[in-house]
Amino acid sequence: MNLSAYLARIGADVRPGDTSPEMLRALQTAHLTHVPYETMDIIRGVPFTLEPDALFDKIVTRRRGGYCFELNGLFALLLRELGFAVTEYFARFLRDADPGIPMRRHRVLRVTASDGQDYLCDVGVGGVCPLVPLPFSLYTETHEPNGVWRLVPDSVYGTVVEEYKAGSWAPYYAFTAEPQYPIDFVTTNYWCQSAPDSPFRASPIVCLQTGSGRRTLRGDEFRIFDGGRVEVIPAGDAENRDRLLWELFGIGT
């Protein structure tokens, strides 16, 4: 991996050998604010793999984004190159999920920093998400610009990430502590790209965190969240949508 190119892509300044919690926090925030979550290849019918060289070419060389299997996959490689210990898990999204047990179709990372503590890291969410790693400690609250978060145990789901909103705790996503390996994500990645009932094929999802909010594309609307202000921009025709994808997210055709 060309570390200098990857670090330049996310605008991160890394001190050699620094695997501190502060460095991990800086890396996650930098990634989320420089590399968009985006499903445009799925919408356009462009197949892609999770091979490291392909991920690096798409995200770093061609300066595109990706979704969780791509973004957290490449981020895990970066963290390992920098000296962090990384374990990968499958997760189920519970936020706004349909009734029943949702499919395991999200990739998350458990990362050990130099303080000996583990942190939940995730740079692959297409909406509201923690800008910083969450301590892998039950009931420990993390207050950061995008909200308040904690991990809690659950007899069915294993560990649930909760967000505090509207005066109460609500489930965000859940995972079990069963280590996964790159080959384990291949089948689900193929399903997300190809299955007729895959939600990723229904409409585009694009998101870039900004520190003070986020920019999104969902369906036919671009939205810019900045503090308490929300600007809605109709996507319009294909030409206008492609122009806005480039201007707001740096995503070319």
Catalytic residue among 34, 68, 121, 129: 68
Dig out the tokens for 142 from the structure.
């993390």
Q: What span, in angstroms and rounded, lies between the C-alpha atoms of 134 and 164?
A: 14
Catalytic residue among 106, 129, 192, 207: 106
Catalytic residue among 121, 122, 129, 207: 122
- Known active-site residue 129: no
The 10 Å CB-count burial string (b at 16+, else e) for 195-232 is eeebebbeebbbbbbeeebbbbbeeeebeebeeeeeee
DSSP type of residue 155: T
- Known active-site residue 121: no
Phi and psi dihedrals of 45, rounded to 5?
A: 75, 30
Helix (H, G, I), strand (E, B) or coil at 245: helix
Return the active site residues. 68, 106, 122
